[in-house]
Chains A and B, each alone.
Chain A
């Protein structure tokens, strides 16, 4: 059973460009979480999605950031008009369907560098 996959692993964008980060959850998992880790800081929650639904986006910046988890295909975190402050490692995690407390399995992260 393959783990959580993220691509690309490294992404370089110039200021003003768009960044698209992809996350394929573990097989059978229907919950996806996105976190951002700035240099020298802890991971910060951004958004929690289930298939075709955003459950909690309280950690997402109000502008330029969006996330989706379509019925088919990976979850996408999209950052429009990137700025230098967006440079960070972006991790996604997945967990199984259902209610209750679940283990979250993390992917290897995408390291975004904005030049």
Chain B
């Protein structure tokens, strides 16, 4: 059974600071790992998708890393902005359905303050 655990559950940082969110997963056989941003009351928006051959991927101020051996991923946010306040969700998929059947973590709730 695919599982995703994220830490911390919540995080408060000051505007301009960096932060790193963690994800541990269990999935077999591994297909891909995604990070999503979900604003309150909205649908998730994709930040990155990584397959097993990729160990880092950037999207603007967001950089995701993947260690397929330890089954860990992280999302690093640089120079945080107030608009980064949201839930950040780690998502994994196995090869069922071509890698498009997603298992979601419960997210890290990030709040960026002045």
Interface of A with B (CB < 8 Å)?
4, 31, 33, 35, 40-45, 48, 55-56, 91, 93, 95, 99-109
Contact = CB atoms under 8 A, between A and B. Distances in A.
Interface of B: 4, 31-32, 41-46, 49, 51, 89, 96-107
A6 B105 CA distance: 23
A109 B44 CA distance: 10
Interface residues of chain B: helix, strand, loop or mixed (majority):
mixed
A42 B104 contact: yes
Contacts, number: 61
A55 B96 CA distance: 11
B15 to A, nearest CB: 27
Nearest to B106: A42
Nearest to A9: B41
A45 B46 contact: no
Q: Which of B42, B43, B45, B97 has the largest number of chain A CB atoms within 10 A?
A: B43
B41 to A, nearest CB: 8
Contact of B43 (A42, A44, A45, A109): A109
A103 B46 contact: yes
B32 A101 contact: yes
